[in-house]
């Protein structure tokens, strides 16, 4: 299981297959919760974003 991260908009915990936007200050948002305060730089599933960016790797399960 991935560690829990909450959407800053709706406070829901992201599920691995939730679609999320990653903004330029590396905050994830649900597309429907995205406030556009910062530019979006990626759109993927929560799991996809966590795996793609090294600074999120501490959210991955321990091996």
The residues that touch Zn ion, with contacts defined as CB under 5 A, are 7, 9-10, 30, 33
C-alpha radius of gyration, the chain, whole number: 11
Q: In 3D, which of 47, 50, 44 has the Cα closest to residue 21?
A: 44
Cβ nearer to Zn ion, comparing 48 with 63: 48
Report the nearest approach of Zn ion to the CB of residue 15 (Å). 11
Report the nearest approach of Zn ion to the CB of residue 55 (Å). 21
Cβ nearer to Zn ion, comparing 9 with 16: 9
Cβ nearer to Zn ion, comparing 10 with 60: 10
Other C-beta atoms lying within 10 Å of the C-beta of residue 51: 16
Tokens of 32: 């429907």
């Amino acid at each position: 299981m991935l560690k829990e991260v909450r959407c800053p908009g709706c406070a829901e915990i992201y599920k691995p297959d939730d679609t999320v936007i990653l903004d330029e200050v590396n905050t994830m948002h649900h597309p429907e919760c995205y406030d556009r305060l910062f530019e979006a730089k990626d759109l993927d599933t929560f799991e996809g974003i966590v795996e793609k960016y090294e600074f999120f790797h501490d959210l991955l399960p321990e091996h």
